[in-house]
């Protein structure tokens, strides 16, 4: 499919104009960043894996009645999505303490939380996506109370779905980040799940060994990131082999 004009380039993805009004093409890059892009690398095959994995999760969520931006996968690195106005919040759901929460509260990583905890960061790279209380969100008009109620309800359903799917393949869902967008249907406005769901935006630990199968492998230099994501994809039956190790095409005479 012919790609339209580039609309936006983020750290891990590029958005292009889609073939029809109200659609975009989301392209998954191989770039990995951490600590607000202080650490950067190009990781062969990451974009291909995240494209597939995000398709898998978004399709499953659609099937249980959660509206998402995903329309269809176009090829190895691109998917067609609904254009949405992104709510400027990173919605983080935590089941076990890890990362910034463990650090902030001096908790041991992996400690089970009394219940899933949701937190919000204001999406602004220049500020380092600061954690914000609900009161800021409402007062500054980033989302209404009704929006927040919908977001919390959907985030908890996403958590139950992802936790169950992961548990089924021997992986513990420690935490994850999701984003929401607004779409307009006539006078009616609603929120849909947007962005991506992939090991870039989740913490995934092997239930038996505690091995990390997510972007912490890159953040903390724990090994090969593509191998970790390939393991997740293989267990979920999404992709059989490591795309960075696939033979390159050869010319046939």
| 53/48 Cα distance (integer angstroms) | 9
User: Helix (H) and strand (E) counts for the chain?
Assistant: 6, 14
Q: How far is the CB of 186 from ligand TMP (least distance, A)?
A: 33
Q: Is 152 helix (H, G, I), strand (E, B) or coil?
A: helix
Nearer to ligand TMP, 167 or 184 (CB): 167
Residue nearest to ligand TMP (CB): 99
Q: Where are the alpha helices (DSSP H) in 10-120?
A: 46-63, 99-105
Q: Per-residue string for binding with ligand TMP, 121-150, x by CB under 6 A?
A: --------x---------------------
Residue 177 makes contact with ligand TMP by CB under 6 A? yes
Nearer to ligand TMP, 72 or 220 (CB): 220
Structure tokens at 48: 């291909």
Q: How far is the CB of 17 from ligand TMP (least distance, A)?
A: 26
Q: How far is the CB of 203 from ligand TMP (least distance, A)?
A: 4
Residue 175 makes contact with ligand TMP by CB under 6 A? yes
Selected from 62, 100, 107, 123, the binder of ligand TMP by CB under 6 A is 100
Selected from 99, 110, 165, 234, the binder of ligand TMP by CB under 6 A is 99
Q: How far is the CB of 1 from ligand TMP (least distance, A)?
A: 28
Nearer to ligand TMP, 74 or 165 (CB): 165
Q: Where are the alpha helices (DSSP H) in the chain?
A: 46-63, 99-105, 134-139, 145-168, 216-219, 225-235
Burial state string for 211-243 with b = 16 or more CB within 10 A and e = fewer than 16: ebbbbbbbbeeeeebbebbbbbbebbeebeebb
Strands 31-34 and 39-42: antiparallel
Q: How far is the CB of 8 from ligand TMP (least distance, A)?
A: 17
Residue 176 makes contact with ligand TMP by CB under 6 A? yes
Range in contact with ligand TMP (rule: CB under 6 A) among 54-62, 157-165, 171-179, 244-252: 171-179
Phi, psi of 24 (to 5 degrees): -135, 160
Q: Which of residues 190-229 bind ligand TMP (CB under 6 A)?
A: 201-203
CA distances in angstroms from 249 to 78, 160, 234, 245, 252, listed in the order given: 20, 41, 22, 12, 9
If binding means CB under 6 A, how many residues of this protein chain bind ligand TMP? 12
Quick one: how far is CA 232 from the chain centroid? 14
Range in contact with ligand TMP (rule: CB under 6 A) among 92-100, 136-144, 148-156, 161-169: 92-100
* CB count in 10 Å sphere of residue 16: 20
Q: How far is the CB of 246 from ligand TMP (least distance, A)?
A: 27
Where does residue 196 rank: exposed (0-12), middle (13-18), buried (19+ CB within 10 A)?
buried
Rule CB under 6 A: which residues touch ligand TMP? 92, 98-101, 129, 175-177, 201-203
């Amino acid at each position: 499919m012919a790609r339209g004009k580039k609309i936006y380039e983020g750290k891990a993805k590029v958005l292009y104009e889609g073939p029809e009004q109200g659609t975009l093409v989301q392209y998954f890059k191989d770039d990995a960043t951490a600590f607000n892009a202080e650490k950067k690398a190009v990781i062969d095959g990451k974009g291909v894996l995240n494209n597939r994995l995000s398709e898998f999760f978004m399709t499953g969520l659609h099937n249980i009645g959660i509206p998402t931006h995903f329309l269809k996968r176009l090829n190895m690195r691109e998917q067609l999505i609904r254009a949405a106005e992104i709510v400027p919040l990173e919605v983080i759901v935590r089941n076990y303490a890890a990362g910034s929460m463990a650090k902030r509260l001096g908790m041991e990583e992996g400690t089970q939380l009394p219940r899933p905890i949701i937190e919000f960061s204001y999406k602004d790279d220049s500020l380092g996506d600061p954690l914000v209380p609900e009161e800021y969100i409402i007062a500054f008009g980033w989302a209404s109370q009704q929006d927040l109620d919908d977001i919390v309800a959907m985030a908890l359903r996403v958590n139950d779905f992802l936790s169950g799917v992961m548990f089924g393949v021997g992986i513990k869902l420690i935490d994850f980040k999701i984003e929401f967008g607004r779409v307009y249907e006539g006078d009616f406005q609603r929120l849909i799940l947007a962005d991506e769901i992939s090991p870039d935006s989740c913490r995934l630990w092997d239930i038996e060994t505690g091995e990390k199968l997510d972007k912490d492998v890159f953040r903390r230099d724990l090994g090969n990131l593509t191998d970790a994501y390939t393991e997740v994809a293989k267990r979920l039956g999404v992709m059989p082999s490591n795309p960075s190790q696939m033979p390159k095409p050869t010319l046939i005479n």
